[in-house]
Amino acid sequence: MKVSEAMIRDVSTIFEDETIEDFIVFCLRQNKSGLPVVDEEFRVVGFLSESDVIKSALPSYFSLLQSASFIPDTHQFVIRLGKIKDDRVSQHMVKPPVLIKPDDTVIYAADLLIKNGLKIMPVVDDEGKLMGIVNRIYLIHAATQGKIDR
């Protein structure tokens, strides 16, 4: 089975110079956890997820800790979030993004999602322009239907 058969043909996206606040509003309204980031040519230049925003709003030493209970003051998180809300998306996105093409196999897409710990992955054409996305639940559904090995 190819990615083209399992992808969601939706090109909801955020531009690299739009703000973190724009991203939060977009995700809230569309019930999404992340969005592909594109340039003016519609090429996917990054990916921003809610996890990336949380990471940016946490103290830098947080990644060394095993538990959020070590953070002395959660209020710090809220203050830092307020500070980054007007930042450009490009300052906090993951780049280069992990991408897949419509002719790739679904099993390869699943492999990339698992190895990179992703929930969503942009699907692009040969010029790197956004065509849609694949997400975990669609691939899980394809697997349960026995379609993933075809």
Partner 1 sequence: MNVLTVTLNPALDREIVVENFKINEFHRVKNPSYSVMDPGGKGINVSVILSGLGVRNVAMGFLGGNIGKVVEERMRLISDLITTGFVHVEEETRENIAIVDPLGDTITEINSSGPLVKPDDLRMFLRRFEVALSRVRHVVISGSIPRGVENDICRTLCKKVTDTGKLAFAEGTGPAFEMAVEAGVITVARPDLRSRKLIFGESLVDLNDYVRAAKKIIEKGAKLAILSYAIEGDVIATQDGVWLFKTRAHIDRSHLLGTGDAFMAGVVHSMIENEKDCFLAAKRGMSAAVAEAEYISKELISTKDIDEHIDSFDVRELE
Q: Which residues bind partner 1 (CB under 8 A)?
A: 4, 8-13, 15, 18, 22, 26, 29-31, 38, 40-42, 129, 131-132
Q: Between residues 55 and 85, which has the closer beta carbon with respect to partner 1?
A: 85
Nearer to partner 1, 80 or 85 (CB): 85
Q: Strand 44-49's sheet: what is its strand order?
A: 14-15, 34-38, 44-49
Residues 130 and 11: beta-carbon distance below 8 Å: yes
Q: Which is nearer to partner 1, 12 or 62 (CB)?
A: 12
For partner 1, the closer of residues 12 and 51 by Cβ is 12
Helix, coil or strand: residue 99: coil
Least distance in angstroms from the C-beta of 95 to partner 1 = 19
d(CA 131, CA 51): 23
Give the nearest distance from C-beta 138 to partner 1 in angstroms.
11
DSSP string for residues in 120-133: EEEEE-TT-BEEEE
